[in-house]
Amino acid sequence: MTKRLGVLVLKPLSLVLVLLTGLCSSPASLASEARETVETLHTALLEAMKGGASLGFEGRRKLLSPVLDAVFDFRTIARLVTGRHWAGMNEAQQTEFIGVFSQLSAATYAENFDEFGGEKFETRASEPKKNAEVVRTVILSPDGDEVSLNYLLARHGEDWRIVNVIAEGVSDISLKRTEYAAVIGQDGVDGLIAKLRAKVASYGSKNS
Amino acid sequence: MAALLAAGLSTSCATAPGGSADANDPAEGMNRKFYTFNDTLDRNIFEPVARGYVKVTPDPVRSGVSKFFNNANYLNVIANDLLQGKPGQFAEDTGRFLVNSTVGVGGLFDPATKLGMPEHDEDLGQTLGTYGVGEGAYLVVPMMGPNSLRDLPGTATSFLLNPINYLSFPITFPLGALAAINTRANLLEASSIRDQAALDPYTFVREAYRQQREFKIYDGNPPDDDFDEYIESEADAAILKIY
């Protein structure tokens, strides 16, 4: 998805402003926690990328899966991606959906973060919102390309957990939500769960 | 163009049977047919050709080719800088076009970025977006792919503002073919993600397209919404607009 999507110019002035507001905002401890959650994810992704082929798909999946379960709020995500259908799902379906969704996330990350070419993750800003926090980051390639990766985090007890990832302006939840609604419309909730299971299996089978 | 836009605005309010209102896709039935048509053509011809091209062409050459076509399209960017009232960016992009067309050997190289004139991405669809024109119905155009009524006029202006199209046919035709192959080659990564991740590729492409257009209209900084409702309740409208 990293088609060169226009150059993101972070104007020096706005960078200064971002830095200043970052320094001056009072709930700095909360802001740094949200940032830490995202950086925990990025550290694990880098480890998977550097482990690459020697870890293999399964090795990367095993490495990432517990980290994802710790940094994402999969229950909230599940509720948001299923939208109005969530309330109509029984408890067993909800639990099953959360489970398969978290497996799918692990498989997707393991599949795509599979090699290291000198990329760097850089946190640019962390902005408090009402009941939420946005952490703005970029992936920098050695050739100078920048991919914007923003995270939306929500309070989860003591922690901040990721509830959405916005890559180059494409919101993961919006994308999946529309897509899942289309599948539920055709095949129902159980059909959606079956499709997600097949997806998870397809990632594993293509790789050792 | 005005009539086309008017049509777009009115159709975006009406929901045809089968189309879903929040997806802005009243012509979904027809769009899906064209999507299948394009996809079949792509899998049988364009994608294999693009893969072959990537295989036989060294990376630096491919990079030069991409730069050349980006530069050839740059008058369109410059024109839209002006239409969007961005005088600073207009000056920078004009400088960029002149430098890359001359020192950069007709755009094959990009010395302008190193000189502090980075590439921008503007087009008429984005300009109309900044004017407050709604996106209009989502459209899948045969042979071209995702589009919308707001973006459609821009495909015409970018064609008209591209100097390549004013060369004689024996030059324009092979260059046009190369442009198409190059564009497809640059999308290989995106299409493989689509193939991997999408449950319903049609919907996946539509949503990704719509969101990226929005992102570009705001030059990568879409306005933040109040997250309150979205986190606390299940308000559908707020979820759709999480950024």
CATH number of the domain within which A10 lies: 3.10.450.710
- Best residue of B196, B210, B226 to probe chain A, by most A CBs closer than 10 Å: B196
Q: Give the gap in angstroms from C-alpha B235 to the nearest C-alpha of chain A.
A: 8
Residue A182 has pLDDT above 80, yes or no: yes
In Å, how far are B69, B72, B73, B174 from B167, measured between CA atoms? 14, 12, 14, 11
Structural domain contains residue B234 = yes
Which residues of chain A does B184 touch, with a Cβ-Cβ cutoff of 8 Å? none
**B44/B236: higher pLDDT:** B44
List the single residue in B with minimal CA-CA distance to A147: B220
Owning domain of residue A84 = 4-206
Which residues of chain B does A129 touch, with a Cβ-Cβ cutoff of 8 Å? 224, 226-227
Q: Average pLDDT in the B218-227 region?
A: 69
Q: Which two tokens stand for residue A177?
A: 């939500």
pLDDT for B18? 38
**A26/A74: higher pLDDT:** A74
Size of the A and B interface in Cβ pairs below 8 Å? 125
pLDDT for B226? 41
B9 CB neighbour count, 10 Å cutoff: 16
pLDDT for A142? 87
Type of residue numbered B2: A
**B225/B38: higher pLDDT:** B38
d(CA B3, CA B147): 17
Contact partners, residue B158, CB within 8 Å, separation at least 6:
B73, B76, B123, B124
User: Please, what's the b/e burial string for B127-136 (b: 16 or more CB within 10 A of its CB; e: otherwise)?
Assistant: bbbbeeebbb
Average pLDDT, chain B: 85
Contact partners, residue A41, CB within 8 Å, separation at least 6:
A67, A68, A71, A162
Report the percent of chain A where pLDDT is more than 70. 82
pLDDT for A199? 93
Which residues of chain B does A134 touch, with a Cβ-Cβ cutoff of 8 Å? 224
User: What is the pLDDT confidence band of residue B144, given thresholds at 50, 70 and 90?
Assistant: very high
Q: Based on the structure, what is the number of domains in chain A? A: 1
Q: Average pLDDT in the A73-83 region?
A: 92
Report the percent of chain B where pLDDT is more than 70. 82
Cβ-defined contact of A179 to B203 (cutoff 8 Å)? yes
pLDDT for A2? 37
Contact B138, B151 (CB under 8 A): no
Q: DSSP assignment, residue A89?
A: S
Comparing CA positions, the residue from A150, A167, A7 lying closest to residue B212 is: A167
Cβ-defined contact of A6 to B234 (cutoff 8 Å)? no
Cβ-defined contact of A3 to B240 (cutoff 8 Å)? no
Average pLDDT, chain A: 84
Cβ-defined contact of A79 to B234 (cutoff 8 Å)? yes
Q: Average pLDDT in the B191-215 region?
A: 92
Q: Give the gap in angstroms from C-alpha A40 to the nearest C-alpha of chain B.
A: 22
B25 CB neighbour count, 10 Å cutoff: 26
Q: Round the CA-based radius of gyration of chain B to a whole number and report it.
A: 19
Cβ-defined contact of A178 to B199 (cutoff 8 Å)? no
d(CA B162, CA B76): 7
Structural domain contains residue B19 = no
Residue B11 has pLDDT above 80, yes or no: no
Residue B6 has pLDDT above 50, yes or no: no
Structural domain contains residue B163 = yes
Give residue for tokens 């990350």: A109
pLDDT for A129? 79
| Entry pTM | 0.79
Structural domain contains residue B173 = yes
Q: Based on the structure, what is the number of domains in chain B? A: 1
List the single residue in A with minimal CA-CA distance to B186: A3
Q: Average pLDDT in the B93-114 region?
A: 96
Structural domain contains residue B20 = no
Which residues of chain B does A196 touch, with a Cβ-Cβ cutoff of 8 Å? 199
Structural domain contains residue B115 = yes
Owning domain of residue B165 = 2-14+25-240
